[in-house]
Amino acid sequence: MRVLIADDDEIYRSLLCSTLPRWGYQVVAVSDGERALASLATEGAPALAILDWMMPGLSGPEVCKRVRASPGPRYTYILLLTARSKMEEVVEGLEAGADDYLTKPFVASELRARLRTAARILGLQENLLESRRELEVLATHDPLTQLWNRRAILERLSREWARALREKKSMAVLLADVDRFKEVNDRFGHAVGDQALCEVARRLTAALRPYDLLGRFGGEEFLVAFSTDDPESVGRVAERLREAVAASPFSANGLDIPFSVSIGMAVAPAHPAAGAEALILAADGALYRAKREGRNRVCICTLASGPADPAAALARSTGSSRS
């Protein structure tokens, strides 16, 4: 564990710098409060700080207050070193945000015990953070393909629509559905079907840019979304995705299983009169056309800018293509 030591007393600073490494700690040492605050504000800052109460620039309690006023992603455990022993002064340091204190001159064994306590608390906190990260992944990702799940991809699509609206860009939504997926499940079993979905997800991911949105929309259907300055290029993106999936058979249990996707695509300038839901509806209609016209193809629906009645415009664009 890395420890920040901030003390303007060279004797105490040298003592701590020589003692803590023997106990297994990595030391970062500074001699004033401003440098201590700057060190704690950097990326990868030490999670544990030992601050002298009286320092040039900023005192230990002042550093505590500023650290607590701008908390980072990880908690900083702060131990104050002070020659003050009056209860009201100790309370002042704790209320400033310190977690613990130790009076000078300190006993090495007591300091070591307090550092172990700090390390134990920081370890528990890190476990809680890791558990929260795992829960966030479970709440936002599809457990099979590890892509965004339906709720998460819709939330991100809504944000991307708002950004496209601010930047006066067009928005593209693509719905890709695995062709004849039921036949794969019926013939080879659901385990192979699951492997096939994971392979489709992998191929789609490889064919997209890192910042494009991709999620499992439901069943064997995937949603792709991105904003663009060049609506004409969206068709090329859709075709690239289709080709990536159909390029080679999927191998499972010694068998080569050919598979493909049909893609429905919708593009429109972001407009306050419509929304991302309108694009999904249009892409869905285009997808049904692609299925009816033979599968393994891309069908496109382009919406006009700023329709007076978005729903009516979509109905005219998609027609009665559902089957």
Encoded tokens for 94: 């704790």
From first to last of the 323 residues of the chain, give the pLDDT tens digit. Answer: 899 999 988 888 999 999 999 999 999 999 999 999 999 988 889 999 999 988 998 999 999 999 999 877 788 999 998 877 677 777 888 899 999 988 888 889 999 999 999 999 999 988 988 888 889 889 999 999 999 999 999 999 999 999 999 999 999 999 999 999 999 999 999 999 999 999 999 999 999 999 999 999 999 999 999 999 998 899 999 999 999 999 999 988 888 988 899 999 999 887 776 778 889 999 999 999 999 999 999 999 866 544 434 444 443 333 333 33
Encoded tokens for 245: 């999936």
Encoded tokens for 88: 């009201």
Distance of CA 15 to the CA centre of its chain: 42
Do 235 and 265 form a contact (C-beta atoms < 8 A)?
A: yes
- In the chain, what percentage of residues exceed pLDDT 90? 64
Whole-angstrom distance, CA of residue 62 vs CA of residue 146: 45
Name which of 118, 98, 125 is nearest 23 in CA terms.
Answer: 118
Q: Looking at residue 20, what DSSP letter applies? A: G
Residue 72 is predicted with a pLDDT of 75
Angle between helix 60-69 and helix 87-95 axes, rounded to 10 deg: 30
Residue 85 is predicted with a pLDDT of 66
Whole-angstrom distance, CA of residue 151 vs CA of residue 139: 9
pLDDT digits (tens, 9 = 90+) for 267-283: 988 777 677 888 999 99
Q: Hey, where are the domains in the chain? A: 2-139, 150-318
Q: Is the pTM of this model over 0.75?
A: no
What one-letter code names the amino acid at 305? S
- The residues near 143 (Cβ < 8 Å, ≥ 6 apart) are none
Residue 156 is predicted with a pLDDT of 95
Name which of 103, 2, 89 is nearest 52 in CA terms.
Answer: 103
Encoded tokens for 187: 């013939």
The β-bridge partners of 49 are 4, 78
Residue 218 is predicted with a pLDDT of 93
What one-letter code names the amino acid at 308? A
Q: What share of the chain is helix, strand, coil (3-state, %, to 5)?
A: 50, 20, 30
Residue 28 is predicted with a pLDDT of 92
Looking at the domain 2-139, which fold is it? Rossmann fold (3.40.50)
Residue 83 is predicted with a pLDDT of 78
Average pLDDT score over the chain: 88
Encoded tokens for 72: 């980072």
Place of tokens 């023997």: 22
pLDDT digits (tens, 9 = 90+) for 203-258: 999 999 999 999 999 999 999 999 999 988 999 999 999 999 999 999 888 889 88
What one-letter code names the amino acid at 187? R
Q: By three-state DSSP, how is residue 174 classified?
A: strand
Catalytic residue among 220, 221, 239, 277: 220
Encoded tokens for 20: 């803590």
220 an active-site residue? yes
Widest pairwise Cα distance in the chain: 85
Q: Is 204 exposed, middle or buried (0-12, 13-18, 19+ CB in 10 A)?
A: buried
**CATH of the domain spanning 150-318:** 3.30.70.270
Whole-angstrom distance, CA of residue 238 vs CA of residue 276: 18
